[in-house]
């Protein structure tokens, strides 16, 4: 997602976001009412490339789907929250009444993965292999809608971020994974650009949205973690 802002005495800007509740960030926020947000979705690495190229001003990324070792120190990252991955099961699955599931308990299942982000699907496959098995993947899907359809039909299971599961579960069963597989979500912006009023307003409202999420235990103070991609 991307924000394009036009504020008095401030040039037009783009700010891209990913994996945050879109309606909330576009709600009637006093500071953002002075701007005209423009939202687009893209993969984290592409968002960071756009950020470095001055094609966008704010990117929301996580540490699971962002390529490691980016060789630069021009980008600052502010921690917003931690999000745990969950297993998504069809209705009536034998584990549906359990509060959580382990990867080992899922070793005989057939898996559908959203391969639109190869980095994310590789994280899932590696976690399974580290547990001692190779997942049997019967769905390589370019989009979550197909993954969900396979699960609803009882053909597959999958693992998805908790934030996504909050909105898309429907009749499916969303269960915690033990041990926890978590991702850290950051808002990224060019070093020093937080002085820009439009960018500062966007970051402030993101922090407000995060603090309003029901699962407060996920949250870590965004004010105490600031780092560069090079770190």
Same domain, 208 and 221: yes
Same domain, 97 and 31: no
- What is the rounded (10 degree) CA torsion for 130, 136, 139, 140? 50
Same domain, 188 and 164: no
Do the bridges between strand 13-16 and strand 2-5 make them parallel or antiparallel, or are there none, so unpaired?
Answer: antiparallel
Same domain, 87 and 174: yes
Same domain, 159 and 216: no
Confidence (pTM): 0.73
Same domain, 89 and 45: no
Same domain, 67 and 129: no
**Residue 107 lies in domain:** 83-178
Domain count, the chain: 2
Task: Check which CATH number belongs to the domain holding 128 and give it.
Answer: 3.40.190.290
Task: Check which CATH number belongs to the domain holding 25 and give it.
Answer: 3.40.190.10
Same domain, 71 and 157: no
Q: What is the pLDDT along the chain (231 residues), one digit of tens a residue?
A: 333 333 333 333 444 444 444 455 555 455 555 566 666 677 777 888 888 888 888 888 888 877 665 546 788 989 999 999 999 999 999 998 998 999 999 999 999 998 877 888 899 999 999 999 999 999 999 888 899 999 999 999 999 988 877 666 678 899 999 989 999 999 999 999 999 888 898 899 889 888 887 753 433 322 222 222 333
Residue that terminates a domain, selected from 178, 197, 219 = 178
Same domain, 172 and 94: yes
Q: For residue 167, what are the CA distances in angstroms to 172, 190, 212? A: 11, 31, 16
Same domain, 114 and 66: no
């Amino acid at each position: 997602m991307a924000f394009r802002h036009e504020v008095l005495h401030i040039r037009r800007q783009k700010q891209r976001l990913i994996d945050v509740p879109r309606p909330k960030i576009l709600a009637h926020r006093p500071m953002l009412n002075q701007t005209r947000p423009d939202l687009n979705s893209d993969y984290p690495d592409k968002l960071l490339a756009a950020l470095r190229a001055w094609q966008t001003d704010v990117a929301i990324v996580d540490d699971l789907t962002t390529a490691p070792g980016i060789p630069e120190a021009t980008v600052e990252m502010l921690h917003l929250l931690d999000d745990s991955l969950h297993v998504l099961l069809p209705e009536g699955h034998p584990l549906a009444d359990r509060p959580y599931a382990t990867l080992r308990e899922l070793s005989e299942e057939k898996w559908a993965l959203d391969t639109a982000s190869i980095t994310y699907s590789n994280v899932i496959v590696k976690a399974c292999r580290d547990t001692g098995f190779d997942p049997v993947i019967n769905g390589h899907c370019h989009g979550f809608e197909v993954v969900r359809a396979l699960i609803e039909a009882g053909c597959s299971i999958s693992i998805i971020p908790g934030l996504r599961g909050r909105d898309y579960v429907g009749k499916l069963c969303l269960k915690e994974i033990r041990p926890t597989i978590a991702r850290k979500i950051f808002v990224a912006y060019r070093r020093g650009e937080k002085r820009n009023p439009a960018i500062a307003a966007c970051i402030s409202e993101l922090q407000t949205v995060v603090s309003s999420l029901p699962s407060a235990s996920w949250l870590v103070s965004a004010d105490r973690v600031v780092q560069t991609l090079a770190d």
